[in-house]
Amino acid sequence: MTFKPRQMTIILWDLFMSILTVFQMCKTTFMLAFNMDYEDRLLDTIIDAVFAIDILMHFFRAYLDDVEVITSFGKISLRYITGFFLFDSIATFPTLCTYNWKTLYPLKLARFFRIFRFTESIKNLINQVLARVNLPKRFVNRIHDFAFMTVFLMIVVHSIASAWIKIGHEIEGSWKDVHG
């Protein structure tokens, strides 16, 4: 059994995972910047469990190779293992399988690499919606690029701000000490 790449349930799952990824990226950088306690373990465990399900699903997701749909389990597995599997596993399993959250929580930053998959899910969703409206492909591509750049910029700005706050916490006599 494989999931087809343009199947509406897969497109909606990818959209859900993209939203969850953006949330996790913001939450992780925020938690690390403010040296917060990891009391919210239930939410993180649920999120990691959803990402674990997504990892398993990727082994059964057909993909497009030019115009041909690849459904071979071996080819799908090889493509995923040589692609994002390492980043997904590093960000998911250490904190899901242990209680050593304080030292392992920064591994969740590996989820930042999922942003490259985000662009594909946005493109599929936009193509599905706008195909019904019959807009020119050039216009659809512009909408996709705008959506991706907006989300990417939001994540980069948030990460830089979080890093700046982290620096303020760590360095004696920093801007945080001067300006309170």
Residues 20-63: tens digit of each pLDDT: 988 888 888 888 887 777 666 788 889 999 999 999 999 999 88
Is residue 1 in a domain?
no
pLDDT confidence of residue 40: 66
Cα–Cα distance between 10 and 60 in angstroms, integer?
A: 11
Cα–Cα distance between 96 and 91 in angstroms, integer?
A: 9
Is residue 2 in a domain?
no
Instruction: Report the candidate in 129, 128, 126, 174 with the shortest Cα–Cα distance to residue 150.
Output: 126
In the three-class reduction of DSSP (H, G, I as helix; E, B as strand; rest coil), residue 104 is classed as: helix
Is residue 65 in a domain?
yes
Q: Based on the structure, what is the number of domains in the chain? A: 1
Is residue 36 in a domain?
yes
Cα–Cα distance between 17 and 143 in angstroms, integer?
A: 20
Return the residue matching tokens 């990892």.
Answer: 55
pLDDT confidence of residue 73: 92
pLDDT confidence of residue 132: 75
Cα–Cα distance between 134 and 99 in angstroms, integer?
A: 51
Is residue 139 in a domain?
yes
Cα–Cα distance between 88 and 50 in angstroms, integer?
A: 12
pTM for the model stands at 0.78
pLDDT confidence of residue 39: 67
- Residue 80's alpha-carbon distances to 16, 64, 132, in angstroms, are 20, 13, 31
Is residue 62 left, alpha or beta, with left meaning phi > 0 and alpha meaning psi from -120 to 50?
Answer: beta
Is residue 66 in a domain?
yes
- Could you say which residues of the chain have pLDDT below 50? none
Cα–Cα distance between 89 and 97 in angstroms, integer?
A: 11
Domain encompassing residue 23: 8-179
pLDDT confidence of residue 180: 60
Is residue 41 in a domain?
yes
pLDDT confidence of residue 38: 65
